Structure 1
């Protein structure tokens, strides 16, 4: 009879399995389908993959349920089959593992490294539904894998512990510097999860053996629990229309021994690994006797700032930022749209005129209404250099993924542009290039938080930076709508995320301005009320009826349009 899983890894290094998703891809199953649905539609395929890994030497099989939660399955119209898919996954794995093998229920991150709008209560519900289904079929343990931040992994672990005392393996997806996406060092993260009841904590995905080795080195002398490692087979390359991974099975065998020497008690593979990789791991570990490890508890400290700012920074102007300036006097910022052409002469003349008129900052939209315009980064730099007027640039979530957004922000920092406004951005399909894609890796709440993270000297990935940014981050506020209190509640969330100041949509109703003041008087950051000149009655009707976020009062429209007869004449 096999020993209980906790006892098994006390005395030996257990061999995990390899990738499921990328292996199915190599077998010809396309990207864009639910691999978890195959538990129901093609169980013989999943059974065959499990069998190959067991024959290669796997002792711990993961169920094919990584993305079998309500949120992920709903993208394929399968949200009603969460329980059915998870339970089928366990049955298939148990059938192949036999009486001597272990089966752990695989549960992946729902956020997947993105700061989505999924609420905490929804996450709890989705995790509980999947965990319950896996436990019902009698798994030997639960594997929580590919989590990017402590918050979500802690939440998932808490749900398991509330439902079961089975062994739980928790795995982060990090790079070699060993920080989570929300800024925790690995000793801090390990200790928090150990306190919540994690039995094994480790790493998988995102990087190959070398990267995970680097993350492990950040824990040297500070292990608080046994460790598991499931590296990718290196970095994926896209060749001739296919994804390929370069790390060989032989290399994985060599690295398995190094991982074992560092205290790993479970070693398997993630993306790009195959039964051949697992066979080399099993061969390398055959007869290996691990040394006892003294697991020393690591006291938790709050996340620390890695690098102190330089005592003197002569590259940045001593002019007070917008937030400080508001405390000294009335402050005016003016929006000037970047041109839709390559000619910037008129734009630059306008910027200079606004500087001469006393504007405190020039705000530049980021392809507003999804209409393609010149880069506000380039124009902001030119405005700053040629006129001395402070640029305040918009950052839209629509056009850039996480990589592009951080790169963009790093560019602003290098150019000395430190005032930004974070906005969601109008959907691309409504602009002048309707065939383009809207990215939306981040919401406006999340992009605010991530930009402020750069001010702490921490990259979006959780890695420390060599210096801190100095961004003053604004947020948009749309007071129009039936329920002003709901808009204010949304605004409070943006402030909690780190917003330093607020800019409203254009407001034309004096009563609404008074209501806004009353509803936001408890907020301690400045709110810039938008005022947009109206060029004509036609312009007024266009803004009121067609532009999102702008509503004109009846009084204002009456002033412009007058009688019905005049209105008909204007639109003739």
Structure 2
């Protein structure tokens, strides 16, 4: 395993006194609530036609409006979670097309930021795992992950990106390699692990161990860590010793609406949207218990109802 050569001070959000609202539930909202077909769970092809761009623009502006109403910062996530070589291959996208897709996605986010006239809005380049996040038997070494993710991150580095966000990561070596690839391109990077109902990564690694190993190997180069694609009940089981030295490094939660396991969600033919008010209360309870949490949002099964309830419950008023 190739370790990062330079130890860096952990980087922070520009204003760490406020909550930043993010959203990675777009695909399930489009598929189940709006009847939009997204082969391979890819939303980036929507950028290729006017109707698709209008759908995406409306979704981003809705998120910005929720953040504005709650006095939150806003993080816009690009449509590039599966815009890497392996995940996009079944859709017929080669390297040249993917390079353009990644650049176009970030340019589209910049347009949404500029149109909103609201500050602060950060542009997150969303990078997903090489394979299915919930198939932990598909693994790479950290060096292999560094080389693999360097291609997509290199394309994204040519844009107005504020930082790279590695989402729904299921094992430590891929997280390390992805973080190293981002820092190789002089970009800030956030790392988000997913956890199962027991609070462990799909690989079986306890979350605190995953964070600590990634931090040690990358020399603290990760700006902050998150957990995504899990219900607050499952996330609460991931914390372990909340007073441990790693806990300030966990600064984000991006939650599922459903309490179902990932296996159950994969088999579902209908959306489990859970209970938006209950979800808002559960997220707020976690942020009160763990005051370092600054990036909050919705993942699978959530929509603007859930984001509004989360923001409402986070408000001191």
Q: TM-score range by the shorter chain?
A: 0.7 to 0.9
Aligned partner (choices 107, 130, 155) of residue 177 of structure 2: 155
- For 1:221, the equivalent position in structure 2 comes to 243
Does the 8 Å contact 2:147/2:181 carry over to 1? no
Contact in 2 for aligned 1:105/1:141 (Cα 8 Å): yes
**SS of match in other structure, 1:276:** helix
The answer on whether the counterparts of 2:139 and 2:174 sit within 8 Å (CA) in structure 1 is no
Aligned to 1:189: 210
C-alpha distance in 1, partners of 2:12/2:139? Answer: 36
2:136 pairs with 1:136:
no
1:212 aligns with 2:212: no
* TM-score in terms of structure 2 length: 0.80
Asked if the contact 1:18–1:53 (Cα under 8 Å) also holds between the matched residues in 2, the reply is: no
Mapped partners of 2:274, 2:14: distance in 1: 29
1:103 equivalenced with 2:126 (yes/no) = no
Structure 1 length-normalised TM: 0.46
Partner of 2:45: 37
Offset, 1:186: 2.2
Structure 1 residues 212-253: Cα deviation after superposition (integer angstroms, max 9, x where no partner) = 12213x141111414211111114688xx9421132221222
Distance across 2 between alignment mates of 1:76 and 1:123: 22
Please say if residues 18 and 278 of structure 1, whose CA atoms lie closer than 8 Å, have aligned partners that are also in contact: no
Matches within 5 A, 1:509-528: none
Matched, 1:256 2:280: no
2:142–2:173 contact (8 Å) kept in structure 1: no
Whole-Å separation in 2 of the counterparts to 1:178 and 1:139: 31
The reply to whether residue 233 of structure 1 matches residue 288 of structure 2 is: no
Q: Per the alignment, do residues 208 and 122 of structure 1 end up closer, same or farther by CA in structure 2, a change over 3 Å counting?
A: same
Structure showing greater Rg = 1
**Structure 2: distance between partners of 1:117 and 1:67:** 17
1:31–1:235 CA distance, 2 compared to 1 (3 A) = farther
Q: Give distance in 2, aligned partners of 1:254 and 1:17.
A: 17
Q: Which of 63, 77, 102 is matched with 1:62 structurally? A: 77
In 2, Cα distance between equivalents of 1:179 and 1:245:
22
2:34 pairs with one of 27, 31, 35: 27
44-53 or 121-130, larger mean C-alpha shift: 121-130
* Equivalent-residue separation in structure 2 for 1:198 and 1:171 (angstroms): 10
Q: What SS is found at the alignment partner of 2:79?
A: coil
Q: Contact 1:56/1:276 (CA < 8 Å) preserved in 2?
A: no
Q: Deviations over 1:40-75 (max 9, x none)?
A: 333222222111211122611111111110111111
Q: 1:118 to 1:225 in 2, by over 3 A?
A: closer
The verdict on how the C-alpha distance between 1:104 and 1:31 changes in structure 2, with shifts beyond 3 A counting, is closer
CA contact (8 A) 2:228 2:256 kept: yes
CA separation of 1:141/1:117 partners in 2, compared to 1, >3 Å: closer, same or farther?
closer
Deviation at 1:127, TM superposition (A): 1.0
Could you say which residue in structure 1 is the equivalent of 2:6? none
Q: Whose relative contact order is higher, 1 or 2, with alpha carbons under 8 Å and at least 6 apart?
A: 2
2:167, 2:13 → 1: CA distance? 21
Residues in 1 aligned to 2:149 and 2:74: alpha-carbon distance in whole angstroms: 26
* In 2, Cα distance between equivalents of 1:271 and 1:161: 28
2:180 maps to 1:164: no
Distance change >3 Å, CA 260–CA 79, structure 1 → 2: same
3-state SS of 2:252 partner? strand
How many positions carry a matched residue from both structures? Answer: 279
User: Once the two structures are superposed, what CA deviation does each residue of 1:155-204 show, in whole Å capped at 9, x if it has no partner?
Assistant: 111111111142x2111111253333444322222122223111211211
Provide the aligned C-alpha RMSD in A.
2.5
Is there any run of 5+ residues in structure 2 with no aligned partner, and where?
Answer: 1-10, 68-72
Give yes or no for contact 1:71–1:126 (8 Å, CA) kept in 2. no
2:5 maps to which residue?
Answer: none
> Structure 1 CA distance, aligned partners of 2:301 and 2:139?
30
